[in-house]
Amino acid sequence: MSSLEGVVIADFSRVLAAPYATMVLGDLGAEVVKVEQPGRGDVTRTWGPPHHGDEATYFLSVNRNKTSVQIDLRTEAGREQARELIARADVVVENFKPGTMRKFGLDYGSLGRDDLVYCSISGFGSGKGADLPGYDLLVQAVGGLMSVTGDGAPVKTGVALVDVLTGLHACVGVLAALRHREKTGLGQLVELDLLSVLLSSMVNQSAGFTLAGVVPEPLGNRHPSIAPYEVFPTADQPIVLAVGNDRQFRRLCSVLDVPELATDPRFVTNPDRVEHVDALFDVLAQRLRAYPAQHWFETLTPLGVPCGPVNDVAHAFALAESLGLGPTTTIDGMTLVANPIRLSRTPVSYRLRPPKLEQ
């Protein structure tokens, strides 16, 4: 038995944020019916390379555990077909431009179902920002994330992180609404926008501004409040040190054979180290260059000093596999990334490969 067994989701989502949410809900057991434009489908079906056979891996990454139905919402027959689907659904998820579903008569208000959980995702909300395009890169720019990423020129994250975070927040909202419906019989409208999710997800950087008026600047791989907490060179490949307290720092100094650093007034406490981070980096980098990254990883880790090599994706999967985390799952011969949620009584399930458009 799965956690969401029996829950039916009418999925009108496209691209990444909302499809990621519906895939996670599908992994948890919900029946997800993905509505796609006839003949074309979700635009990410064409977003390649890379490809798995003739299918774009982008689409495959966020659409397992779903069936697909082609419905032309521009026609009355299509809209009637959509209403029939919604009539048997517990949840609707959509991320069209605000106002689009209302134009089709398929918005939360028009459907008039008190028991329906209806999740709408937009870029900038349904008010004054309704006409702004909700692209992840754009939101990273105007939402401030690019201003704190990199070490000079603005840099985006290497994945559409705002979309993924929004999808996860959407899951939380839908699950909370389903819990409320379970107790009261009443559904509700769940709304999320990419900008608000980003501002919330920037946590300490956002709070530094709202609480202390500090506008953060890009620090590259450094942390504004912790040191040493960045990337260092070694004899071969870069390594990360994430030293979070004074005890870990003293152990690090001992292993590097520079115990005097732990009593140096510039480095005794974390605030001291943050203030003198450039000088600290120079000393540590000189020592760390003596041996390869794997040597430091194997030496420092058993002593409780957090560190690790900067892996590429292939090595990251190999690490997860070596730790017994089971980072992948196979469906119909297709290797996909596993859902990271582990439930002891109602584990996630992998029932359906991402659907072909004709399905």
* DSSP string across 149-164: SSSSS----SS-HHHH
- 93 forms bridges with which residues in the sheet? 11, 119
- Cα dihedral 229, 233, 237, 240 in deg (nearest 10): -10
163 is catalytic: yes
pLDDT digits (tens, 9 = 90+) for 305-326: 999 999 999 999 999 999 999 9
User: Which fold would CATH assign to domain 229-310?
Assistant: formyl-coa transferase, domain 3 (3.30.1540)
Strands (E), the chain: 8-12, 31-36, 51-52, 55-56, 66-70, 91-94, 117-122, 188-193, 229-232, 239-242, 307-309, 328-331, 334-337
Give the strands of the sheet with 91-94, arranged side by side: 66-70, 31-36, 8-12, 91-94, 117-122, 188-193
Domain boundaries, the chain: 8-202+327-337, 229-310
Place of tokens 């720092």: 249
Determine which helix (DSSP H) or strand (DSSP E) holds 50, and give its type and residue range: none
Can 8-202+327-337 and 229-310 be said to share one CATH topology? Answer: no
pLDDT of residue 11: 98
Rounded CA-CA distance 179/191 in Å is 17
State the amino acid at position 74 in one-letter form: R
The tens place of each residue's pLDDT in the chain, 359 residues long, gives 889 999 999 999 999 999 999 999 999 999 999 999 999 999 999 999 999 999 999 999 999 999 999 999 999 999 999 999 999 999 999 999 999 999 999 999 999 999 999 999 999 998 999 889 889 999 999 999 999 998 878 899 999 999 999 999 999 999 999 999 999 999 999 999 999 999 999 999 999 999 999 999 888 888 889 999 999 999 999 999 999 999 999 999 999 999 999 999 999 999 999 999 999 999 999 999 999 999 999 999 999 999 999 999 999 999 999 999 999 999 999 999 999 999 999 999 999 999 998 75
Alpha carbon distance, N-terminus to C-terminus of the chain? 25
pLDDT digits (tens, 9 = 90+) for 225-243: 999 999 999 999 999 999 9
Which tokens in the block code for residue 181? 């419906």
Nearest by Cα to 176 from 8, 168, 202, 112:
168
pLDDT of residue 359: 54
Exposed / middle / buried, residue 185 (Cβ in 10 Å: 0-12, 13-18, 19+): exposed
Which tokens in the block code for residue 53? 């056979």
**Mean pLDDT, rounded, of the chain:** 95
Exposed / middle / buried, residue 218 (Cβ in 10 Å: 0-12, 13-18, 19+): middle
pLDDT of residue 219: 83
State the amino acid at position 254 in one-letter form: S
Place of tokens 């998820």: 93
Give me the catalytic one of 27, 107, 163, 193: 163
Task: CATH number for 8-202+327-337: choose from 3.40.50.720, 3.90.1150.10, 3.40.50.10540, 3.30.457.10.
Answer: 3.40.50.10540
Rounded CA-CA distance 228/241 in Å is 6
